Structure 1
Amino acid sequence: MTQPLTSETLVPHPDVAYRRLIVASGFAMIVFGACVAIPSVCQDAIGREFRLDFEQRGLLTTARMGALLVSLLLVGYLGDRRGKRGFLVWGLVVIGAGLAASATAGGYRTLLGAFALSGAGKGVMEALVNPLVAQLSPRGSARALNVINGLFSVGLVIAAIGAGEILQAGASWRVPFWVWIAPALVCASLFLTRGYPAVEMTETHEAVAARFLRRPLFWLLFAGMVLGGGCEAGLTAWGPNFVEHELGASARSGAWVMVLYGVCMALGRFASGGLVARIAPLRLMVGSAVACALATVALRFVGSLWSAWTLFALGGLFVACFWPTILSVASDELAAGSAHLFSLLAAAGIGGCVVFPWAMGALGDAFGLRNGVLILPASMVAQVAVMGVAARLVGKDGKATSGGSAWQRTDGSS
């Protein structure tokens, strides 16, 4: 049986601060989720203050995600070579600086720059937290990654509730940005430990990268990340604005889109962490894509706030598994625990996050926001095809993951 490509293996050591690093990683994901929710909940208020059209509002997300993408690729390349500690600490400091710059922005261009600064810090989190967790949990990466990424949704929910209530009370949209600066800096202090897991190189980074880049499976997972990340970003970036603009909902009601979406995304990721022991990862993703396509296409026709809440919640539930599960399949099938592999795939997901919010806004300006959301079900139809081909390829190659074939249950049955 062919083993996954691997460039490094964990060297167990009593000095590794496993518990502290897991706690820090979970806290980082909560902060990450909060920093994604706040701009989305505040988007309508920001748009009114600076008199922005839909495309300009979408570009705020694109600026953040574009900077995140550049940071992700750079730090992903350097993280395996120079260690994760310094990058993680400074990444969270940069997030705090970006939040402060957003809270004090006096114009649209300044706000774009502030969002980009915050995005650069988030790129560090995206590049290094997932591979660190995979290294700390080498025999259960799918479960660990789904749980850790589920905490992203917890941050999303907490921040959405807080920001929505702040706006409903008549306070400035700037207040939620100030609130989350301190948690980002506290999280940075948790990563200030020398107890990181040591790695033992068995191949050069370049040799491993050259090998997995030649694998068709890598490119299928790459495409899956673009589609899954783009759909997730579209739901996150436009949910509150959709119900406020299309259904005349209040800021509090818009925030509850994010709350319900985030709760269901968290449930989806926590559930996926358990389901991968019984349902093959690729089968899980094919089924989730079908369900997500049905939920998101219905947004085109939604007529009530309760229906919109339900559909965005279902969108969060079914889109939840893609990001962490694709990463776990890649780790098991291609290069276990490689930050370079994770950063390339995460970059693909962020690429989707850059394009989809802007495209939905541009289509919203041209044809109405209800038609703009049709990008989401289209991406999920494509995801069904991509994951289906990936499943056939894995089955054909006869490769095994840490829990059995990515298209077979762990008991070996198909």
Structure 2
Amino acid sequence: MTTTHSDEPIAPNAKRLLWAGFMAILAAGVGFSVRGGILGQWANQFGFTMTELGTITGGGLAGFGLIIIIFSLFADKVGYGKLMILALVLHFVSAVLTLAAPAFFASGGKEAAYWCLFSAMFIFAIGNGVCEAVVNPLTATLFPKQQTHYLNILHAGWPAGLVLGSVASAVMAARTDDAGNVVSAAVDWRIQMSLFLIPVIIYGVMILGQKFPKSHAAQAGVTLGEMVRTIFFPLMIVLLVIHALVGYVELGTDSWISKITGSIMASPTKGLILFSYTSLLMFVLRFFAGPIVHRISPVGLLLVSAILGFIGLQLLGSATSVALCVIAATVYACGKTFLWPTMLAVVSERFPKGGAVAIGMIGGVGMLSAGLIGGPAIGFKQDNFASKNLQETSQPAYERYKAGKENTFMGFKTVGLDGAKVGVLEDGGKELARADELLKQQGKDDANHKALVEWWDGAKATAETDKAAVTGAGLFGGRMALKLTSIVPAVMALLYLGMLIYFRSIGGYKAIQITGEQASGGVKGPVA
């Protein structure tokens, strides 16, 4: 199956398998994006609170990185094809459970619907994790001489899915007139949620009957123990640390970026539109990684990306208008576009003996960092600076809207603003009234809800003056969080610069090729 031309793939079905992987990642993006647009329908149909919806949508995300790492350990042993079939089954099971929620609600009420949807989202995350554990080493194996280029194309599927999902949600959303009256109802959420099955079916058809190659490490006879040992080489440890920072700055920031930019532009809708624009930009740019790498090395591309990421976040933290937000977001998007897939390529090229394990470890660490550190840290920074700002501008307002307990993160402490109270202030108590009506219909007595209603009865009198101070504090907290987060890509840039100097000292960056002799211990040159 190996060809003689250095730029050609190793298998005749390489492009087909590449686009199958693209569709699998696109399915994850579509599902993630569409789900965000139907939460209102879930709230109305099943009576969920915002907290319950947040827990459902977060189902399984914390363990996403662990899933990638675990499945990477035996991907070569079990076979990429079998694992992709497993991912296909998991995606379909997730869809069936999601669509069954109304039946669960009819038989077991709100709690049954809640656990049905939570389980569906958890299984969806597992399916995505299995795909990620397969498609990265698979693509690196199929295109050994153009790994950076094709891994970037593969991961263009994620922003493509985000764009397609958000556009579909916008088209299928309810329409209202200037007075807020519903002109046309939203398309049933079950139809919207089923959209992610289209790319699932496509990648399912594309992989059926196909022969999947093993990684170069597996083909050369490298054992699992040898693959695991590559993780402990100094350069690999440095790359793991850097990719933890990549997960922090890219996925962690993406969790908050539309909310923060929406606050800056005084329009949540504009924040979402800007996020869709940057996702589309990422999709387009990821097809041009190859030509860029022909001019500069993958490490050079990473260095430039980190510098742009730093500049973009600094600009976003200082933006004061829609135009400045667009410019800043464009710079930031150009910076983050190539980071994740190019890091995967560097690991695969410099540590081919690591096989699926090394590339899975790097992806898993990035996901873990985003979920356990990036998102929470950026949230903590917003709480910290927002509360300090509100204390300075209006101490009485701070006393009314501060949280009931202290927040801690990695030894740091702050008393942020109560999100529930701020939410009531922002919508004038509409969601609170809806929840109150639901509880009355169900004959339930919720102590937390009752306390919030009593608080709002007392806070209404000063709501008009409080709103400007509280909104301003939240905006200040978001700006400062972005500026501080810019330190992360600045540190990454320094590390990439160090790597660039190191590679130049040994004759330049080169991809290491693995052979049977190297697998058995006769390694020549840099350790792979």
Task: State whether TM-score is above 0.5.
Answer: yes
Alignment partner, residue 226 of structure 1 = 244
Quote how far apart the aligned CAs of 1:344 are. Answer: 0.3
Alignment partner, residue 412 of structure 1 = none
Q: Which AA in structure 2 matches 1:201?
A: A
Quote how far apart the aligned CAs of 1:167 are. Answer: 3.2
Matches within 5 A, 1:105-116: 112-116=118-122
Matches within 5 A, 1:10-409: 17-39=13-35, 50-52=48-50, 57=54, 63-99=59-95, 101=97, 104=101, 112-167=118-173, 169=175, 171=186, 174=189, 176-198=192-214, 200-210=219-229, 212-249=230-267, 251=269, 253-335=270-352, 338-355=355-372, 356-366=374-384, 367=386, 368=474, 370=478, 371-374=480-483, 376-398=485-507, 400-402=509-511
Query: 2-side partners of 1:89 and 1:151: how far apart?
Result: 19
Q: Is the 8 A contact 1:235 1:315 kept in 2?
A: no
Query: 2-side partners of 1:61 and 1:379: how far apart?
Result: 27
Q: Is the 8 A contact 1:220 1:387 kept in 2?
A: no
Query: 1-side partners of 2:364 and 2:32: how far apart?
Result: 17
Quote how far apart the aligned CAs of 1:260 are. Answer: 0.8
Superposed CA RMSD in Å reads 3.3
Q: Is the 8 A contact 2:302 2:339 kept in 1?
A: yes
Q: Closer, same or farther in 2 for the Cα pair 1:353/1:200, shift >3 Å?
A: same
Q: Secondary structure at the match of 2:219?
A: strand
- Stretches of structure 1 lacking an aligned partner (at least 5 in a row): 1-9, 405-414
1:65-124, Cα deviation, whole Å (9 max, x unpaired) = 323212211211111111011211221332344355556485766655443322111111
1:164-205, Cα deviation, whole Å (9 max, x unpaired) = 333364527945323213432332232222411255233212
Q: Secondary structure at the match of 2:157?
A: helix
Q: Is the 8 A contact 1:40 1:240 kept in 2?
A: no
Q: Which AA in structure 2 matches 1:332?
A: E
Deviates more, 1:345-354 or 1:95-104: 95-104
Q: Is the 8 A contact 1:11 1:200 kept in 2?
A: no
Q: Is the 8 A contact 1:85 1:193 kept in 2?
A: no
Q: Secondary structure at the match of 1:276?
A: helix
Quote how far apart the aligned CAs of 1:362 are. Answer: 3.9
Alignment partner, residue 3 of structure 1 = none
Quote how far apart the aligned CAs of 1:225 are. Answer: 1.3
Q: Is the 8 A contact 1:37 1:159 kept in 2?
A: yes
1:219-265, Cα deviation, whole Å (9 max, x unpaired) = 111122111122221343223333445544254x3432232111121
Q: Which AA in structure 1 matches 2:64?
A: L
Q: Closer, same or farther in 2 for the Cα pair 1:70/1:337, shift >3 Å?
A: closer
Q: Is the 8 A contact 1:75 1:124 kept in 2?
A: yes
Quote the sequence identity (%).
Answer: 19
Q: Which AA in structure 2 matches 1:150?
A: A
Query: 1-side partners of 2:285 and 2:20: how far apart?
Result: 22
Quote how far apart the aligned CAs of 1:158 are. Answer: 1.4
Tell me the TM-score normalized by structure 1. 0.82
Query: 1-side partners of 2:319 and 2:336: how far apart?
Result: 19
Q: Secondary structure at the match of 2:186?
A: coil
Q: Closer, same or farther in 2 for the Cα pair 1:136/1:265, shift >3 Å?
A: same
Deviates more, 1:344-353 or 1:173-182: 173-182
Q: Which AA in structure 1 matches 2:163?
A: V
Q: Closer, same or farther in 2 for the Cα pair 1:288/1:339, shift >3 Å?
A: same
Q: Which AA in structure 2 matches 1:196?
A: F
Q: Closer, same or farther in 2 for the Cα pair 1:95/1:75, shift >3 Å?
A: same
Q: Which AA in structure 2 matches 1:299?
A: L
- Stretches of structure 2 lacking an aligned partner (at least 5 in a row): 4-8, 103-109, 176-184, 387-473, 514-528
Q: Is the 8 A contact 2:10 2:142 kept in 1?
A: no
Quote how far apart the aligned CAs of 1:218 are. Answer: 0.6
* Alignment size in residue pairs: 391
Q: Is the 8 A contact 2:90 2:126 kept in 1?
A: yes
Q: Is the 8 A contact 2:162 2:276 kept in 1?
A: yes
Q: Is the 8 A contact 2:26 2:158 kept in 1?
A: yes
